[in-house]
Amino acid sequence: MADEKNQTVSVESPQEERMKLPNFLLSVKLKYVKLGYHYLISKAMYLFLIPLFGAASAHLSTISYHDVVHLYENLKFNLVSVTLCSSLMVFLVTLYFMSRPRGVYLVDFACYKPKQDYTCTREIFMHRSELTGTFSDENLAFQKKIIERSGLGQKTYLPPAILSVPPNPCMAEARKEAEEVMFGAIDELLEKTGVKAKDIGILIVNCSLFNPTPSLSAMIVNHYKLRGNIQSYNLGGMGCSAGLISIDLAKQLLQVHPNSYALVVSMENITLNWYFGNNRSMLVSNCLFRMGGSAILLSNKTSDSKRAKYQLIHTVRTHKGADDKSYGCVFQEEDDKKTIGVSLSKDLMSVAGEALKTNITTLGPLVLPMSEQLLFFATLVARKVFKMKIKPYIPDFKLAFEHFCIHAGGRAVLDELEKNLDLSDWHMEPSRMTLYRFGNTSSSSLWYELAYAESKGRIRKGDRTWQIAFGSGFKCNSAVWRALRTVDPLQEINPWMDEIHQFPVHVPKVATIT
C-alpha cells in the first residue's frame, strides 16, 4: 500500500497557503503583458490598412466630375504614372484581402447525455467501490469524504463497464463507450445543423487517455463514411484543456482551407482509466471524472455567419511544460503494485495558478477596455520598474465578458478563481452546476457550461463568452466567443432542456479534505 501520509490530497478550497492559487496581480511578469500586446499587434496588422482606405475614400468623395476629367487628361499622356498608381492600388487591395483572417463561426454544438441506466449516485459509487474488494477500509473512507464534498451531485454518469459487478474494464467496452459518446453527440449535432457528413472537410478528435488503433478519428470516418480527402487529426495525452487546443487547431486549418466545415469532438474515456489501487493521489480522479462528450461544428463560410451562434474572436494558449514541477503535477504512471493511474501532485493548485496567471495576463490586452489596460499597466510599471509600494490594480474582466465558462475540474479551483477574478455566484453558476450535474467530463465540460447558459436564456446577441481550461503538461488555454444572435432556450436541444428549471441548486462550501 502506498504511504498515505505522503499522499495527502486536497480537493476543496485549501486552508494552507501552498494549496491556494497565487494572487495573480502580486506576481505578474512584464514579459507576459508584452506577449499579449505582441499577440494583438501580430494578429491585427491588417487593421492598419483601414485608416489608409478611409482617408483615400474621404478624399475621393470630394472630387467632382470636372476634377475627374482633368485628371484623365493629365494621365492619358503619362502611361508610367497610370501604371504605377494602378499597380499600387492592386497591391494594397490584394494585401488587405490576403492578410485579413477568415472568420471562424460556431454553427452549433451538441453535448452527449448518457442513458438513465448509467446514473451513479454517491451511494452507488461507494457500493461498487466496496464490491471490487481492492480498496482498503481507510481508502474507502477517504473516497467517501471526497465524493461527499467534491461538488458532484446524485445524477452523474459512469459507463456500464465500471458500474457492472464485477467491473469489466476491457478494450471492447472502452470502444463501446467511445462510440456511444462520440456518435451520440455527432448525431445530435448533424440533426441540429442539417449539415451532411460528406460536407465535413476537417475532423479533430481529442481524448487524453484512450488512444486505440485505429484511432478515434478513424472510428468517426468509418462510421459516417466521411470523404477520402478529409483533414483528420487525433489528439491524445493533452489533458482537460485539449478541447480548446482542438478549437485553436481548427481555427488555423480553416484559415488555409476555404469554404470548409470543421468537426471537433471532445471527450474522455472512463472504462480503461478507472484506478483500482490504493495510492490516494490516484484515487481522486475516480471521484471526480464522469462520462460525457461534445461535438462542435465550425465553419469559415461567410454564408454561415447568418445562422451561426457564435464567432471565434481569440484563442490564447499557455504551456508550462518546460518547468519540471508543472510537467509532473498530473502524471499517468504505475503505483507500487504496478496498477496504472493518474497521480495528482500536491503542487497542482499552485501550478494551475501560475498557468492561469500567464494566460490571463496574455489575454488581457486583447479583451480588456482601454481604461482597464491603462490602469493595470500604469500600476504594474510603478510596482515593477519604479518599486513603488502601491496596491496592485486588479482589472475587472466582467467589463470584457458577459459569460464565463471555467473548466469544471473540481470545486477547489472554481472557488479560488471566483475569488481571484472577483466573479459573482451568477458568473460561476454554469461551471458549478455542470460539476454538480455531470461531474468533471474533462475537455467537454466547457460545452455543458455554455449549454447551461443557453438553456437559462442568458445568451444575447453581442454577448462575449470566455472559455478557460487547464490540463496536464501543464497547459492553460482560453477561447473568446461573440454571440451572433440571441439564443432562444425554447428552441434548443441540449442535455439541460428537460431539467433546467431545477437549477441552480445550493452546493455548500466545505473545508479541506486530507
Average pLDDT over residues 430-434: 98
Which of the residues 240, 287, 405, 476 is marked catalytic?
Answer: 240
Measured distance CA(283)–CA(237) in Å, rounded: 19
Coil, strand or helix at 479: strand
**pLDDT: which is higher, 432 or 84:** 432
Residues making up the chain, counted from first to last: 514
Which residue in this structure is represented by grid cell 479541506? 512
What is the percent of the chain where pLDDT is above 90? 68
Catalytic-residue membership of 279? no
3-state secondary structure 213-227: CCCHHHHHHHHHCCC
Q: What is the DSSP string of 466-498?
A: EEEEEETTTEEEEEEEEESS---GGG--STTTT
pLDDT at 23: 58
Catalytic residue among 207, 273, 359, 407: 407
Per-residue confidence (pLDDT) for residue 71, from 0 to 100: 64
Round the CA-based radius of gyration of the chain to a whole number and report it: 26
**Predicted confidence band of residue 351 (pLDDT cuts 50, 70, 90):** very high
Helix 425-438 and helix 411-420: axis angle, to 10°?
170
Rounded CA gap, 445 and 435, in Å?
Answer: 8
Average pLDDT over residues 86-101: 71
Instruction: Give the pLDDT confidence of 109-121 residue by residue, as tens digits.
Output: 999 999 999 999 9
C-alpha cell, 484: 451572433
pLDDT value at position 26? 53
Grid cell listed for 234 = 487525433
C-alpha cell at 402: 458577459
**What's the CATH superfamily of 105-502?**
Thiolase/Chalcone synthase (3.40.47.10)
The pLDDT of residue 400 is above 90: yes
User: What's the pLDDT at 193?
Assistant: 97
Sign of the alpha-carbon dihedral angle for 305, 223, 245, 437: positive
**Which pLDDT score is estimated for 514?**
35
- Please compute the mean of the pLDDT values over residues 490-513 and round it to a whole number: 83
Beta bridge partners of 295: 110, 265
Q: Which of 300, 440, 477, 494 is catalytic?
A: 440
pLDDT at position 511 over 50: no
Pairwise CA distance, residues 196 & 448, whole Å: 24
Confidence at 83, pLDDT banded by 50, 70, 90: confident
127 is catalytic: no
Distance of alpha carbon 313 from alpha carbon 466, whole angstroms: 10
Q: Is 440 a catalytic residue?
A: yes
CA dist 71 and 52 (Å) reads: 21
- Band (383; pLDDT cuts 50, 70, 90): confident
Most confident residue range from 24-33, 217-226, 343-352, 395-404: 217-226
> How far is it, in rounded angstroms, from Cα 251 to Cα 241?
16
pLDDT recorded at residue 17:
43
Of 269, 279, 403, 494, which residue is the catalytic one?
A: 403
What does the pLDDT read at residue 2? 41
Given the residues 269, 319, 359, 476, the one annotated as active site: 319
User: Of 178 and 102, which is predicted with more confidence?
Assistant: 178
Q: How far out from the chain centre does Cα 157 lie? A: 21
Q: Which grid coordinates belong to 334?
A: 504505475
CA atoms of 33 and 445, how far apart (whole Å): 29
| 3-state per-residue secondary structure call for 163-232 | HCCCCCCCHHHHHHHHHHHHHHHHHHHHHHHCCCHHHEEEEEEECCCCCCCCCHHHHHHHHHCCCCCCEE
How far apart CA 359 and CA 364 sit, in angstroms, is: 9
Please classify residue 61 by burial: count the beta carbons closer than 10 Å to its beta carbon, then call 0-12 exposed, 13-18 middle and 19+ buried. Answer: exposed
Instruction: Find where cell 481571484 sits.
Output: 420
Tens digit of pLDDT for each residue in 263-304? 999 999 999 999 999 999 999 999 999 999 999 999 999 999
The answer for 411, left when phi > 0, alpha when psi is -120 to 50, beta otherwise, is: alpha
**Set of cell numbers at residue 289:** 471524472
- pLDDT tens for each residue of 150-160: 999 999 999 99
Instruction: Give the predicted TM-score (pTM) of the model.
Output: 0.85
User: What's the pLDDT tens digit per position in 245-268?
Assistant: 999 999 999 999 999 999 999 999
How would residue 6 be classed by pLDDT, with cut points 50, 70 and 90? very low
Q: What average pLDDT does the structure give for the chain?
A: 87
Return the pLDDT at 12: 41
pLDDT for residue 15 is more than 60: no
For the chain, helix, strand, coil in percent to 5 are 50, 15, 35
Which is more confident, 285 or 88?
285
Residue 191: partners with Cβ closer than 8 Å, 6 or more residues away? none
d(CA 233, CA 243): 13
Q: What is the pLDDT of residue 18?
A: 46
240 is catalytic: yes
Question: What is the Cα–Cα distance from 23 to 416, expressed in whole angstroms?
Answer: 10
